[in-house]
Amino acid sequence: MESLEKMLFSIMAIVFCLSLSACNYGIFDWNNQNLDKRKDYKNRSSCTTDQQSVARIQLQDSYNKATDQDIFEKCTTNSNYRFKSDPKYKQ
C-alpha cells in the first residue's frame, strides 16, 4: 500500500511539473507558442491594423495614442469592429 502511495505521489509530481514546463502538448498550447496561427488572433490583428489605418487617414492630425488604444480594445472584443461606423468618431 505504501508503494502505491509513493507511485501516486510521483505521478502527481510529474503531471504538476509537466503542466508548468514549456512543453507544447499538441492540442494544448500552454505557452501560446502558436498564437499567431490561431484564427481569432489573425482576425483581431487584421481588424486592429486595418481600422487604425482608416482612423489615421480620417483623423489625420487629431489621431493620437488614445485613439490607437481605443481601436485596439474594440478590435479585441469584436473583430468585426469598423471605425467609420463608430458613433464616438463620427464627424
**Segment 79-91 mean pLDDT:** 91
Q: How confident is the model at residue 82 (pLDDT cuts 50, 70, 90)?
A: very high
- What is the value of pTM for the model shown? 0.63
Cross-strand pairs, 28 = 25
62 within domain boundaries = yes
Q: Examine residue 52 and state whether it is found in any structural domain, yes or no.
A: yes
Reduced to 3 states (helix: H, G, I; strand: E, B; else coil), residue 34 is: coil
| Residue range 19-71, pLDDT digits in tens | 665 555 555 556 666 777 788 889 999 999 999 999 999 999 999 999 999 99
Q: What is the DSSP letter of 82?
A: -
Asked whether residue 63 is assigned to any structural domain, the reply reads yes
Tell me which amino acid residue 48 is: T
- Stretch 62-81: mean pLDDT, rounded? 95
* Domain count for the chain: 1
